[in-house]
């Protein structure tokens, strides 16, 4: 057995570790685990960053490697934040039983949960439909909770709007324009794009600053600026308009898919001099992969609602358990208003209750596995050559595709900036859980910066990460691109 202590909080580690090892040994002694399973067992003591997440306190994941002669690898993950000292045996047994049913459908599904889908990559999970619902009905959610979405962020406000960070960004942009002008290469129309507009605060601050700098230096760039605000939610774009009143003449509000902005903006290929995103990548559909004993596995998940939670919610909403899946479907397809007065509270309760269980499926058994654009299994293997031999990591599929599909919009001398939470060293995946977590009604995952860097290099850009130095304790980094010559 390998015990891995991830990101534990001080002395709590020793107590948790003793409890966990004790529980595992008692399962071995009672015959719930055989010696071969024990030899291949990995136990992870995690501290989950997000108080609201998709995990039970104890989860067990098994690898499907039927072709192997050895016993399948089994992982037990214990969320030390939710652990009850001395109470591990029962949750462990239950989690093992769930994992067994995940690998062997013939034994039947566990009876203590209502499943909302079959096993699939998390990227295709119903959880992302909840995420989409949140952004499309943001004002309804905010009205019900009485707080804006930015207040749900760690720290209670968005790093997107930090005036100093914006001033530095504007200064870099102005320098680029001046350099192009000096070479007689400044286009007549100067395009800039913000993807994911929030309340429009960042765009307004950016434009105010740019106008002031332009006036101060008498360069007359501001009137040539075409500032595009892109978001996949029309409701969000509409909410941002009032903030941009002062700059309305040069602003365009465009509904676009952050995963493929080029689809909408194809006419601006190679023309946009600056593109910026804040906290968009961490909220795009993601999935996890794992490497175990030299093999690559896809983490497949299925979403469920624990039966006791389902019963409580149904009681409150006057539903039967049998109706639950149908009502959730209606919520996702037609919005909370389709469920009447209780729509919002039903949505919030279900979202809070949703959990995810998972299993690992060997990539060799998935010939049609869809890796994000431009990333082949061969390329992925190359990237992983220097990575830890046993670890689980985010593919950041939505982020990778967004990144790859945004780059062609850049003018040859243009640059992309992304403010987000990045994992920039694959080893960090062994130090703790990097999502998924729940932030109000949305999903958050740390973004795999290593893969972004690789994909960027193949697309002709060097990708750099700078810490967000404008707020002490911030976990944000700034990704920026430079041309790879």
Partner 1 sequence: MTLPILPTTVVGSYSMPGWLERLKTEYFARRISRHDLDEVHDTAVKAAIKDQETAGLDIVTDGELRRDNMIDYFVERLPGVDIDRSSKKFYYDFYDSSVSGKLPMAPLGLADDFRFLRKFTDREAKFCVTGPHSLTKRIRNNFYPSEEAFAMDLARVMNLELKELVKAGAKIIQIDEPYFSGFPEDISWGVNAINAMVDGVGATIAVHICYGNRYGKPSWEGSYRYLFPKILDAKIQKLTLEFARRGGEDLDVFKELPAPFQLGVGVIDVKTQAVETADIVAERIRKALEVVPAKRMFILPDCGCFHLPRDVAFAKLCAMVEGTKVVRKELGK
Q: Which residue has the tokens 């690992």?
A: 360
Say if residues 329 and 431 touch (Cβ distance below 8 Å).
no
266 vs 6: CA distance, rounded Å? 44
> Is 483 near partner 1 (CB under 8 A)?
yes
What is the closest distance, in whole angstroms, from the C-beta atom of residue 412 to partner 1 in the complex?
Answer: 5
Of 392 and 411, CB closest to partner 1: 411
> Is 373 near partner 1 (CB under 8 A)?
no
Stretch that binds partner 1, among 138-146, 148-156, 288-296, 375-383 (CB under 8 A): 375-383
> Is 378 near partner 1 (CB under 8 A)?
yes
* Binder among 460, 471, 474, 475 for partner 1 (CB under 8 A): 460
Of 302 and 404, CB closest to partner 1: 404
414 vs 423: CA distance, rounded Å? 25
* Binder among 457, 466, 469, 482 for partner 1 (CB under 8 A): 457
Q: Is the peptide bond before 436 cis (omega within 30 degrees of 0)?
A: yes
What is the closest distance, in whole angstroms, from the C-beta atom of residue 450 to partner 1 in the complex?
Answer: 14
> Is 238 near partner 1 (CB under 8 A)?
no
Of 337 and 382, CB closest to partner 1: 382
165 vs 225: CA distance, rounded Å? 20
Of 92 and 416, CB closest to partner 1: 416
Residue 120 bridge partners (DSSP): 301
399 vs 446: CA distance, rounded Å? 10
318 vs 295: CA distance, rounded Å? 48
What is the closest distance, in whole angstroms, from the C-beta atom of residue 460 to partner 1 in the complex?
Answer: 3
Number of Cβ within a 10 Å radius of residue 145: 15
Say if residues 438 and 53 touch (Cβ distance below 8 Å).
yes
* Binder among 407, 416, 426, 478 for partner 1 (CB under 8 A): 407
Of 252 and 483, CB closest to partner 1: 483
Stretch that binds partner 1, among 119-127, 206-214, 299-307, 406-414 (CB under 8 A): 406-414
Stretch that binds partner 1, among 54-62, 224-232, 390-398, 410-418 (CB under 8 A): 410-418
Q: Within 185-224, which residues bind partner 1 (CB under 8 A)?
A: 185, 187
Of 207 and 273, CB closest to partner 1: 273
**Per-residue tokens: 102:** 């995940």
What is the closest distance, in whole angstroms, from the C-beta atom of residue 180 to partner 1 in the complex?
Answer: 9
* Binder among 17, 307, 353, 459 for partner 1 (CB under 8 A): 459
What is the closest distance, in whole angstroms, from the C-beta atom of residue 280 to partner 1 in the complex?
Answer: 22
Q: Within 128-187, which residues bind partner 1 (CB under 8 A)?
A: 183-185, 187
* Total interface residues for partner 1 by CB under 8 A: 22
* Binder among 411, 440, 443, 481 for partner 1 (CB under 8 A): 411
**Per-residue tokens: 259:** 């995963």
Say if residues 374 and 380 touch (Cβ distance below 8 Å).
no
Stretch that binds partner 1, among 162-170, 238-246, 334-342, 374-382 (CB under 8 A): 374-382
Stretch 331-370: interaction string toward partner 1, x if CB under 8 A: ----------------------------------------
> Is 263 near partner 1 (CB under 8 A)?
no
What is the closest distance, in whole angstroms, from the C-beta atom of residue 484 to partner 1 in the complex?
Answer: 7
Of 352 and 484, CB closest to partner 1: 484
Residue 296 CB partners (closer than 8 Å, separation 6+): 289, 290, 362, 363, 377, 380, 381, 384
> In Å, what is the CA distance from 92 to each residue of 35, 183, 436?
17, 67, 22
397 vs 383: CA distance, rounded Å? 15
**Per-residue tokens: 57:** 């306190």
> Is 68 near partner 1 (CB under 8 A)?
no
Q: Which of 380, 300, 363 is closest to 67 using CA atoms?
A: 363
> Is 408 near partner 1 (CB under 8 A)?
yes
Say if residues 443 and 437 touch (Cβ distance below 8 Å).
yes
> In Å, what is the CA distance from 286 to each residue of 24, 79, 142, 157, 453?
32, 21, 25, 24, 17
* Binder among 157, 263, 352, 458 for partner 1 (CB under 8 A): 458
Residue 123 CB partners (closer than 8 Å, separation 6+): 285, 286, 287, 395, 397, 398
116 vs 125: CA distance, rounded Å? 9
What is the closest distance, in whole angstroms, from the C-beta atom of residue 375 to partner 1 in the complex?
Answer: 12
Q: β-strand 461-467 against 120-121: which pairing, if any?
A: unpaired
What is the closest distance, in whole angstroms, from the C-beta atom of residue 459 to partner 1 in the complex?
Answer: 6
In the complex, the residues that contact partner 1 under the rule CB under 8 A are 183-185, 187, 269-270, 376, 378, 382, 407-408, 411-413, 457-461, 483-485
């Amino acid at each position: 057995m390998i015990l891995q202590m991830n990101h534990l909080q001080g002395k709590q580690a020793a107590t948790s570790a003793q409890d966990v090892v004790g529980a595992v040994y008692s399962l071995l002694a009672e015959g719930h685990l055989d010696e071969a399973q024990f030899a291949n067992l990995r136990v992870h003591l995690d501290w989950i960053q997000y108080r609201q997440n998709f995990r039970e306190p104890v989860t067990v994941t098994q690898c499907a490697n039927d072709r192997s002669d050895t016993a399948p690898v089994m992982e037990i993950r214990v969320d030390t934040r939710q652990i009850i000292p001395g109470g591990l045996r029962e949750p462990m047994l239950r989690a093992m039983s769930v994992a067994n049913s995940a690998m062997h459908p013939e034994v039947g599904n566990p009876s203590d949960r209502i499943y909302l889908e079959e096993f699939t990559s998390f990227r295709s999970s119903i959880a992302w439909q909840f995420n989409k619902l949140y952004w499309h009905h943001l004002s309804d959610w905010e009205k019900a909770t009485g707080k804006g979405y930015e207040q749900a962020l760690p720290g209670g406000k968005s790093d997107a709007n930090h005036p100093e960070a914006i001033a530095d960004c504007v200064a870099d942009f102005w320098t680029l324009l001046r350099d192009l002008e000096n070479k007689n290469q400044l286009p007549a129309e100067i395009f800039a794009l913000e993807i994911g507009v929030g309340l429009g605060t960042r765009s307004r601050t950016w434009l105010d600053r740019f106008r002031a700098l332009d006036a101060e230096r008498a360069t007359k760039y501001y009137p040539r600026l075409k500032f595009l605000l892109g978001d996949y939610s029309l409701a969000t774009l509409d909410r941002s308009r009032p903030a941009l009143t002062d700059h309305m003449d040069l602003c365009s509000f465009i509904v676009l898919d952050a995963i493929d902005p080029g689809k909408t903006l194809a006419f601006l290929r190679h023309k946009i001099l600056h593109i910026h995103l804040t906290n968009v990548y961490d909220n795009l559909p993601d999935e996890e992969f794992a490497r175990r004993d030299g093999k690559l596995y896809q983490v497949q998940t299925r979403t469920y609602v624990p039966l006791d939670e389902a019963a409580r919610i149904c009681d409150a909403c006057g539903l039967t358990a049998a109706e639950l899946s149908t009502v959730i479907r209606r919520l996702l397809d037609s919005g909370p208003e389709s469920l009447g007065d209780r729509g919002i509270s039903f949505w919030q309760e279900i979202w809070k209750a949703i959990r995810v269980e998972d299993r690992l499926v060997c990539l060799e058994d998935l010939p049609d596995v869809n890796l994000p654009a431009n990333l082949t299994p061969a390329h992925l293997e190359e990237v992983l050559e220097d990575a830890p031999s046993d670890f689980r990591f985010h593919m950041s599929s939505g982020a990778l595709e967004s990144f790859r599909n945004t780059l062609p919009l850049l003018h040859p001398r243009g640059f992309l900036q992304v403010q987000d939470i990045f994992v920039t060293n694959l080893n960090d995946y062994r130090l703790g859980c990097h999502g998924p977590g729940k932030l109000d009604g949305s999903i958050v995952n740390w973004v795999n910066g290593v893969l972004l860097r690789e994909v960027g290099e193949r697309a002709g850009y060097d990708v750099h990460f700078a810490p967000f130095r404008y707020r002490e304790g911030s976990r944000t980094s700034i990704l920026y691109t430079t041309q790879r010559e």
